[in-house]
Structure 1
Amino acid sequence: MTNVDVSYVSLLLALSLVMVAVVISSKEKLGLTKDIVASVIRTVIQLTVVGYLLYYIFNLDNVLMTLTMVLIIIYNASRQADKRNPNSKKKFFQSFLAIFLATSLTLLVLILSGAIKFIPSQLIPITGMIASNSMVAIGLSYREMNSLFRDQRQQVMEKLALGAPVKLASASIVRQSIRTAMQPTIDSAKTVGLVSLPGMMSGLIFAGVNPIFAIKYQIMVMFMLLSATSLGAVIAVYLSYTNYFNDRAQLDFEEEKE
């Protein structure tokens, strides 16, 4: 196994590359300078804290602590997905339920099939991958749905006026929102190994693991991500599209003011 140690000098040189983004943001007046600086600070703090916490949990190997960590990951992913929803009538439980079900069902299949074991060193990292990808997909679906309801407002109102139920009037918007959410994961699966080199597979091979094992593990990861993003997007969209209507089945669209 190869031992890699990143020096503090290397970290500082890598940090200097972030200044490129800061300079671009400042020069082009993108308004992202504060966000970039905040993200750098949060990255250092969060990874340091979580790194030591995971080291403790992995060595403790406690079921309750493992499940608590899993729930914390799902909660944080749900909170971030909910923040990306521009709808002023959004409900947090919709994001939480979507990510919780997508993550739980995927983990259950992986554990029952023997692909992973119910141990913190496997369960927690896999949960993070599933929840983070579901978070991104659901966030995309929310933004796409909000945009489509704004752009197709007249068409939806016409369908309602002709007697169409809310579900039928929103069908095309729901389908497009789900497609938009799933597309990045599908594109990633199409180009994996050709455009992007999978981090997990490369890491395992780099660590000296048998390439066949690394390949099978990466295939499993891609399958679970496709499953989780599709489940999460479908559940989130079908739970949240009704937020754009009132109790009398009338379109009640109001975009959140930022």
Structure 2
Amino acid sequence: MGMLKPLAATGVVAMAVALTFTQRLGIEREMLVAIARSFVQLSAVGFVLQFIFSQKNAAPWILLAYLFMVTVGGYTAGQRANLVPRGKYIAFVSILVGTMITMILLIALKIFPFTPRYMIPAAGMMVGNAMTVTGVTMKKLREDIKIDKNLVETALALGATPREATLQQVKRSVGIALSPGIDNAKTGGLIALPGAMTGLIMAGASPLEAIQVQIIAKNMIMAASTVSSILSTYLCWPAFFTKAFQLKDEVFGA
């Protein structure tokens, strides 16, 4: 009976799929695949976490789980920005650096102990959000540079560096990518109840402890996402520009 309710709850997805079908959005298959994968993956990961949590020497398992999440996140973000050359590599490095810096700071400041029960969920939240932000940043940056190609090439011809020539496009892409997270932080607790805080209170933790954990989670997600997003713009330059500071025709051609 345990899995019947989750299966029944997928019925609401049918409504969403039917709606996208009637609107001819063409994303029905992707939605169904995502729901099916989520069902299988979440069912499996529960047993994997139970195994990791029971290990006495969990450090290798923490690192393995972290690298696995970053690899999947980099691949997914690269797929979303599929028109960016070496997009999967750029996304992987951006997510790895952004989340690793944040994790090291959390450990150094003794905010979280280096145990699976803390580090794996924290890493999952950071990688998941950094993945979304990085994919949007890369995709939007390429699209904006392509739209403003003439302006960018004029700035380059006048001696501007790639960063200077595309500063406005970088601002837009990073701003758009980070805006949902910023809005979510602004309205946290006013609209949607934060999951970590609510879950801890339901599990019997004190409200003060739950609030502290949720604030830490919001801060680490914001930090990791920002670093990953900005880094991805820098890593895009070799993919977008030649060594002579010219836009690559194979990336921004007709």
Could you say whether these structures have the same fold, taking a TM-score greater than 0.5 normalized by the shorter chain as the test? yes
Gaps of at least 5 residues in structure 2 are none
Q: Which residue of 2 aligns with 1:43?
A: 38
Counterpart Cα distance in 2 of 1:194 and 1:243: 42
- In structure 2, the CA distance between the partners of 1:65 and 1:12, relative to structure 1 (3 Å rule), is closer
Q: Which residue of 2 aligns with 1:100?
A: 96
Gaps of at least 5 residues in structure 1 are 1-5
More relative contact order, 1 or 2 (CA 8 Å, 6+ apart): 1
Q: Which residue of 2 aligns with 1:59?
A: 54
Cα shift at 1:207: 0.9
Once the two structures are superposed, residues 180-204 of structure 1 have per-residue CA deviations (whole angstroms, 9 ceiling, x without a partner) of: 2221111111010111110000011
Counterpart Cα distance in 1 of 2:31 and 2:47: 24
Cα shift at 1:176: 2.1
Instruction: Choose from 149, 154, 169 the match for 2:150.
Output: 154
User: What's the C-alpha RMSD, in Å, of the aligned pairs?
Assistant: 1.8
Once the two structures are superposed, residues 114-169 of structure 1 have per-residue CA deviations (whole angstroms, 9 ceiling, x without a partner) of: 22111111111110000010011111111210121111011011112222222221
Contact conserved, 1:181 with 1:229, CA < 8 A, in 2?
A: no
Task: State the identity %.
Answer: 29
Look up the equivalent residue of 1:156 and give its one-letter code: V
Q: Which residue of 1 aligns with 2:83?
A: 87
Look up the equivalent residue of 1:102 and give its one-letter code: G
Counterpart Cα distance in 2 of 1:241 and 1:229: 19
Look up the equivalent residue of 2:106 and give its one-letter code: L
Look up the equivalent residue of 1:214 and give its one-letter code: A
Q: Which residue of 2 aligns with 1:73?
A: 69
Instruction: Choose from 114, 128, 132 the match for 1:118.
Output: 114
Q: How many residues align?
A: 252
Counterpart Cα distance in 1 of 2:16 and 2:252: 29
Q: Which residue of 2 aligns with 1:219?
A: 215
Once the two structures are superposed, residues 4-47 of structure 1 have per-residue CA deviations (whole angstroms, 9 ceiling, x without a partner) of: xx844422331211110121122222222221221222112111
Q: Which residue of 2 aligns with 1:3?
A: none
Q: Which residue of 2 aligns with 1:142?
A: 138
The runs of at least 4 consecutive aligned structure 1 residues that moved more than 3 Å come to: 6-9, 253-257
Given the alignment of the two structures, is residue 239 of structure 1 paired with residue 235 of structure 2, yes or no?
Answer: yes
Counterpart Cα distance in 1 of 2:75 and 2:160: 33
TM-score by length of 2: 0.93
Q: Which residue of 2 aligns with 1:198?
A: 194
Three-state SS of the structure 2 residue aligned to 1:137 is helix
